Amino acid sequence: MQDALNAQINAEFWSAYLYLSMGMHFEAEGRTGIANWFRIQFKEEQAHAEIFMNYLNSRGGRVELKAIEEVPTHWASPLEAFEQTLAHEEKVTSLINNLYALAEAEHDYATRGKLDWFVSEQVEEEETAKNLIDRLKLIGDNGLALYMLDQELATRTYTVPAPLAAAGE
Ligand code: MG
């Protein structure tokens, strides 16, 4: 279970790195609202890694930080970036489900309980990405509509995820 959780910590940091890269890309493209949305996504993913690291420490485990693999650096359009976001989150959902199954198989009910929050979080992540994809498809090549979405995404602010907020971090 510890090895699997360490692998998940690495996956969360890879997600963080992916979204940071998207943020930097859209910053360079002048889409500062979309860039803001991805920068916050980056912070959220770091927080996910922290939740797992705190949990491993609380159980007397060892956190082992491994190399983070390279991430893409260019996207043809906001739609392409959000489509990759959805595909990636679907993959993360399957990783969380695998951890859940492993925790059950090992009768590790504490870890299973810890994973419950992540199961719900993944539903939200997928729903948010799907919603933005739908809207970007409607927008098509309408520059004004894309400008308005960019303005809207500029207003997103970071909220400390509940399990970290509860730990007072
Ligand atoms: Mg995550």
The pLDDT tens digits for 11-26 are: 999 999 999 999 999 9
Tokens representing 29 are 């493209």
User: pLDDT grade, residue 168 (50/70/90)?
Assistant: low
Q: Is residue 89 included in any domain, yes or no?
A: yes
64-116 pLDDT, tens digit per residue, is 999 999 999 999 999 999 999 999 999 999 999 999 999 999 999 999 999 99
Place of tokens 């998940």: 8
pLDDT confidence of residue 169:
55
> What is the rounded distance in angstroms from the CA atom of residue 82 to the CA atom of residue 149?
13
Please tell me the distance between residue 142's alpha carbon and the centre of ligand 1 in angstroms: 32
Please give all residues whose CB falls under 5 A of ion ligand 1, grouped by chain where several chains appear.
12, 45, 48
Domain ranges, residue 31: 2-161
| Other CB atoms within 10 A of residue 91 CB | 11
Q: Is residue 167 part of a domain?
A: no
Q: Could you tell me the CATH number of the domain that includes residue 7?
A: 1.20.1260.10
Kindly tell me if the per-residue pLDDT of 50 is higher than 80.
Answer: yes
In this predicted structure, what is the pLDDT of residue 166?
80
Question: How many domains, in total, are found in the chain?
Answer: 1
Arithmetic mean of pLDDT, 37-45: 98
How far apart (Å, rounded) are the C-alpha atoms in residues 37 and 58? 32
- Measured in angstroms, how far is the CA atom of residue 158 from the centroid of ligand 1? 14
Going from the Cα of 30 to the center of ligand 1, the distance in angstroms, rounded, reads 26
Instruction: Tell whether 77 is covered by a domain.
Output: yes
127-147: per-residue pLDDT in tens?
Answer: 999 999 999 999 999 999 999
Tokens, residue 156 = 């997103």
| Domain assignment of residue 75, yes or no | yes
Confidence of residue 155 (pLDDT cuts 50, 70, 90): very high
| Residue 168 within a domain | no
